[in-house]
Amino acid sequence: MEIRNFSIIAHVDHGKSTLADRILELTQAVSERQRRDQMLDTLELERERGITIKATPMRLFYTAKSGQRYLFNLIDTPGHVDFNYEVSRALRACEGVLLVVDASQGVEAQTIQNAYLAIDNGLEVLPVINKIDLPNADVPGAIAELEEVIGIPGDTAVAVSAKTGENVEAILEGIIAHLPPPKGDPDAPLSCLIFDAMFDSYQGVISFVRVMDGTVKKGDVIRIFSTGKTFEVDKVGYFSPAPTVSDQLGPGEVGWITAAIKDIADTQIGDTITSDKNPVSAPIPGFKPAQPVVFSGLYPTDSEDYPKLREALEKLSLNDAAFSFEPETSEALGFGFRCGFLGLLHADIVQARLEREFGLGLIATAPAVIYEVERTDGSREHIQNPADLPEPDKIARILEPFVRLNVYVPEEYVGNVMGLLQERRGEMKNMVYHGRRVELRYEIPFGEILYDFHDRLKSLTRGYASMDYEPLEYREGKLVKLDILVNDEKVDALAVIVHRDKAYSLGRKIVDKMAEVIPRQMFAVPIQAAIGGKIIARATVRAFRKDVTAKCYGGDITRKRKLLEKQKKGKERMKQLGTVEVPQEAFLAVLSGDE
Ligand SMILES: Nc1nc2c(ncn2[C@@H]2O[C@H](COP(=O)(O)OP(=O)(O)OP(=O)(O)O)[C@@H](O)[C@H]2O)c(=O)[nH]1
């Protein structure tokens, strides 16, 4: 049977998951009973946030108008800029992509970025113009943008509504006509690409693979190319959508392998699986390794939970190759972990999973980028935690990471966006008109777009702007460490590195926000911001304590206990700093909006 392996790529919200669902329905891969809101979004969190995180492969059958039957492997990819690494992994397993564009929005930042990722991987692109049921849908406009901005021919484009199902079948015919079948030699040595992996407590690591050449079946001894480690294959199979066992996997096929692999580090994403007896001489060209770029400290609110947190982090990292962690100690917060993420959304998701799936109460410190410090003695080091910055007299200079930022925005909002970018120390490199849409190209410190930048961008453009970025080199900046003192004690976990010109306004903002969110105590608590030894801003948490049991008029002891328990619950995300109870929000005061 002929095979087509493809992925769907799109800007966030252009309808990728909805379209994938429709395709599943058309190919009857899922019974209505099995159908959930968004079939392919497997994690609970994904459904809640309406975004796709993990790439999920699916095996579908389609009988074409010609009467011939085809096997399709559909690999879903995430849409958010934080998860670009997952996209590039998934694309390596395909020959082609459906590039979905919302007919009412046109081409946006991730449309372009994902399209280039596909083109750079040598994939064929089939444009799909979606949401044609919307009154403001502009199909010719969207096609023109695709041709103009990305340079792909629009004549094969299929216009559909994933919502109503209109014309979706034409996509399936388009896939057969325009996306190439996989090539591969069943008799060649085994060469299998690992494009994802997950950990299962019964089976060990389940590697998601695309077979390039050769075949793999139960009992084969496989070798992981980069480490040379060998394992005996336990089972192979595909996703339909539940993992289903099959006899073997051959060239062009997408499926999974289990081989009693206990450590996910043994099956790194992008690595090649080959046969131990008859190995290939060269691996499949590798993926870009996922690099955490944003770091934040995670501490248990109850210090007794430290071992539980370590265990949870270990488990999570089994399923998330892009996430890193190492032990860290804070004077203020005790024992915790410095965790690395791909971006703020990724950090949010990891934290939410730790709390939900593992029942942990956590305090997260403000996310920060990695700075490079050159000491006066000429040595250089990378600083993941602002608290680790050397004394000012030992610092020759501090360098910060820059990114190339592209913002796409309708003409009328260009002024607003340029104002924001200037405020964030951005330097304009170019401005390109694509019809009524303008692309602003900037170079900007990564740290400046970390906090509330995306929200501000959206609110300044009524939601119309979109953005993407890629890392540039480190550049010297006039940076200083801003210390925060609570009750006259410096709190290491609250320190941030900021640009000198912004230190005063940021210090003011942080102390005000903290004074607002820290509950009143028995005594007045001063909150101060300082640079070096110099106090630059101050606010006070006034004294007072609400006695929640006062209104219980003695008597009813259960009611009293309930109230106390409720109060205790409310405190779960609090941390005792000396004599002061500080809630999670205070640790993220630096993130609070500019307004
Ligand atoms: N009117 C209309 N709405 C659609 C259509 N397709 C998708 N939508 C809606 O657009 C929104 C986004 O759709 P999703 O399928 O979740 O988008 P996505 O691209 O998968 O988003 P991510 O998973 O976050 O990347 C949802 O509210 C859908 O109901 C369509 O053809 N017509």
Nearest-atom number in ligand 1 for the CA of 100 is 19
Q: Does 315 carry a binding-site annotation?
A: no
User: Between the CA of residue 327 and those of 299, 303, 309, 336, 462, what are the distances in Å?
Assistant: 10, 14, 11, 6, 42
> What residue's CA is closest to ligand 1, atom 12?
13
pLDDT at 266: 77
**530 & 440 share domain:** no
pLDDT at 46: 45
Between residues 55 and 214, the one the model is more confident about: 214
Q: Domain count for the chain, please give it.
A: 5
CATH of the domain at 442: 3.30.70.240
φ, ψ of residue 509 in degrees (nearest 5): -60, -45
- Residues listed for the chain: 595
Helix (H, G, I), strand (E, B) or coil at 363: strand
Cβ of 274 below 6 Å from ligand 1: no
**574-589 per-residue burial string, b: 16 or more CB within 10 A, e: under 16:** bbebeebebbbbbbbb
Tell me if 185 is assigned to some domain: no
- How many other CB atoms are found less than 10 A from the CB of residue 531? 17
> What residue's CA is closest to ligand 1, atom 30?
131
Query: Could you read off the pLDDT of 438-470 as tens digits, one per residue?
Result: 889 999 999 988 877 888 888 888 877 888 888
Q: Does 16 carry a binding-site annotation?
A: yes
Closest CA to 298 of 242, 333, 336: 336
pLDDT at 171: 96
**30 & 133 share domain:** yes
Q: Does 130 carry a binding-site annotation?
A: yes
Cβ of 53 below 6 Å from ligand 1: no
**Six-digit token string for 190:** 């085994």
Cβ of 13 below 6 Å from ligand 1: yes
Query: Could you read off the pLDDT of 486-507 as tens digits, one per residue?
Result: 888 888 888 888 898 888 988 8
Tell me if 66 is assigned to some domain: yes
Cβ of 137 below 6 Å from ligand 1: no
Domain boundary among 364, 392, 409: 364
Beta bridge pairs of residue 470: 404
Compute the chain's Rg from CA coordinates.
27
**198 & 163 share domain:** no
DSSP 8-class letter at 451: S
The three-state (H, E, C) secondary structure of 132-145, written as one string = CCCCCCCHHHHHHH
Tell me if 537 is assigned to some domain: yes
Cβ of 79 below 6 Å from ligand 1: yes
> What residue's CA is closest to ligand 1, atom 10?
15
* The pairing of beta strand 230-232 with beta strand 248-249: unpaired
DSSP 8-class letter at 147: I
Domain holding 64, by residue range, is 2-178
Nearest-atom number in ligand 1 for the CA of 78 is 25
**391 & 410 share domain:** yes
Cβ of 162 below 6 Å from ligand 1: yes
Domain boundary among 333, 349, 364: 364
Judge whether residue 36 has pLDDT over 50.
Answer: no
234 CB burial (10 A radius; 0-12, 13-18, 19+): middle
**Six-digit token string for 450:** 């970390």
Q: Does 133 carry a binding-site annotation?
A: yes
Report how far ligand 1's centroid is from the alpha carbon of 18 (Å).
5
Averaged over 577-586, what is the pLDDT?
A: 73
Is the ipTM higher than 0.90? The answer is yes
DSSP 8-class letter at 242: S
pLDDT at 235: 92
Q: Are 591 and 366 in contact (CB under 8 A)?
A: yes
Residue type at 340 in one-letter notation: G
User: Between the CA of residue 244 and those of 4, 43, 55, 415, what are the distances in Å?
Assistant: 19, 19, 17, 55
For residue 83, name the pLDDT band (cuts at 50, 70, 90): low
Report how far ligand 1's centroid is from the alpha carbon of 35 (Å).
16
Report how far ligand 1's centroid is from the alpha carbon of 15 (Å).
3
Cα-based torsion angle of the residue sequence 489, 492, 494, 496 in order, rounded to the nearest 10 degrees? 120
Cβ of 133 below 6 Å from ligand 1: yes
Q: How far is residue 411's CA from residue 399's CA, in Å, rounded to a whole number? A: 34
Beta bridge pairs of residue 232: 221
Judge whether residue 33 has pLDDT over 70.
Answer: no
Tell me if 282 is assigned to some domain: no
Report how far ligand 1's centroid is from the alpha carbon of 59 (Å).
22
Judge whether residue 185 has pLDDT over 80.
Answer: yes
CATH of the domain at 535: 3.30.70.2570
Q: Are 569 and 302 in contact (CB under 8 A)?
A: no
> What residue's CA is closest to ligand 1, atom 23?
51
CATH of the domain at 88: 3.40.50.300
Judge whether residue 43 has pLDDT over 60.
Answer: no
**306 & 423 share domain:** no
CATH of the domain at 238: 2.40.30.10
**241 & 159 share domain:** no
Instruction: Give every CB contact of residue 463 below 8 A, 6+ residues apart in sequence.
Output: none
- Ligand 1 pocket: which of 13, 23, 49, 101 to mutate (most atoms within 8 A of CB): 13
Q: How far is residue 588's CA from residue 216's CA, in Å, rounded to a whole number? A: 50
Averaged over 116-125, what is the pLDDT?
A: 88
Q: Does 447 carry a binding-site annotation?
A: no
Pick from 47-61, 304-318, 548-562 the range whose average pLDDT is largest.
304-318
Averaged over 316-336, what is the pLDDT?
A: 82
Q: How far is residue 65's CA from residue 9's CA, in Å, rounded to a whole number? A: 25
Domain boundary among 421, 456, 477: 477
Q: Is the peptide bond before 189 cis (omega within 30 degrees of 0)?
A: no
Report how far ligand 1's centroid is from the alpha carbon of 89 (Å).
23
Q: Does 308 carry a binding-site annotation?
A: no
- Ligand 1 pocket: which of 12, 16, 18, 110 to mutate (most atoms within 8 A of CB): 18
Tell me if 473 is assigned to some domain: yes
Q: Are 6 and 97 in contact (CB under 8 A)?
A: yes
Query: Could you read off the pLDDT of 18-27 as tens digits, one per residue?
Result: 998 899 888 8
Nearest-atom number in ligand 1 for the CA of 18 is 15
Query: Could you read off the pLDDT of 400-439 as tens digits, one per residue?
Result: 999 999 898 888 999 999 999 999 999 999 998 877 788 8
**165 & 27 share domain:** yes
Q: Are 42 and 50 in contact (CB under 8 A)?
A: no
**45 & 145 share domain:** yes
Q: Does 17 carry a binding-site annotation?
A: yes
Cα-based torsion angle of the residue sequence 352, 354, 360, 364 in order, rounded to the nearest 10 degrees? -60
pLDDT, mean over the chain: 83
